[in-house]
């Protein structure tokens, strides 16, 4: 007998994020950085297993299609990488939110092969991981302000949040591959 999948599991296949309240150690950061390094290959593998037809389907009722999810991860991670760079070069910058749902409906999402966004993620994450591997302890405590959530995040917290974001959407594509 099949066990029904809850809407919560479909929305949050890896659970909800839990941000650290204290600075992370280098050993605590390492698995998050590795997950960022591994995400492009894992997302590519999940997309391959899902196949082109399933990627045209939403991962849950009312959700985005697999294609939209993959392009969303590339769009968002470009922004997230930029937020790290802003926090490293400015004093508690205010980052610019963007309308993710509107971006997912732009014509390039339907017209661009997912391989383009997967290749973009591969290069972007290579660059991002190199940056992260060279930060000092003081740099990890630099901050930025997110006006949509009225929240100031340290780069430690952003690392955890953004790693979760990648795993969260990888989980969505894996739902289509199952």
Alpha helices in the chain (DSSP H): 7-11, 26-54, 66-89, 100-104, 107-111, 114-133, 137-140, 155-177
Q: How many other CB atoms are there within 10 angstroms of residue 32's CB atom?
A: 20
By three-state DSSP, how is residue 26 classified?
A: helix
pLDDT tens column, 119-135 = 999 999 999 999 999 99
CA distance 136 to 128: 15
Predicted local confidence at residue 1, as pLDDT: 44
Q: What is the CATH number of domain 26-177?
A: 1.20.120.450
Q: What is the dihedral of CA 145, 147, 150, 156, to 10 degrees?
A: -30
Kind of pairing between the strands at 151-154 and 143-146: antiparallel
pLDDT tens column, 32-80 = 999 999 999 999 999 999 999 999 999 999 999 999 999 999 999 999 9
pLDDT of 2 over the 60 cut? no
Of the candidates 125, 31, 140, 144, the one whose C-alpha atom is nearest the C-alpha of residue 78 is 125
User: Which residues neighbour 128 within 8 Å (Cβ) at sequence distance 6 or greater?
Assistant: 36, 77, 81, 84
Of the candidates 82, 96, 72, the one whose C-alpha atom is nearest the C-alpha of residue 165 is 72
pLDDT tens column, 156-177 = 999 999 999 999 999 999 999 9
- The number of C-alpha atoms within 13 Å of 97 and in the hemisphere containing its C-beta is 11
pTM here is: 0.94
């Amino acid at each position: 007998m099949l066990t029904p999948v809850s809407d919560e599991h479909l929305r949050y296949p890896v659970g909800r994020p839990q941000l650290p309240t204290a600075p992370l150690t280098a050993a605590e950061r390492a698995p998050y950085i590795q997950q960022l390094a591994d995400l492009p290959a894992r997302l590519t593998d999940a997309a391959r297993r899902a196949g082109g037809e399933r990627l045209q389907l939403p991962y849950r009722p009312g959700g985005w299609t697999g294609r939209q999810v993959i392009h969303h991860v590339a769009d968002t991670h470009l922004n997230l990488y930029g937020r790290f760079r802003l926090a490293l070069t400015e004093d508690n910058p205010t980052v610019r939110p963007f309308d993710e749902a509107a971006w997912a409906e732009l014509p390039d999402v339907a017209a661009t092969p997912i391989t383009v966004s997967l290749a973009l993620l591969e290069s972007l994450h290579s660059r991002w991981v190199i940056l992260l591997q060279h930060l000092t302890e003081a740099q990890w405590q630099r901050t930025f302000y997110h006006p949509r959530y009225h929240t100031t995040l340290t780069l430690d917290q952003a690392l955890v949040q953004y790693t979760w974001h990648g795993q969260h959407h990888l989980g969505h594509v894996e739902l289509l591959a199952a």
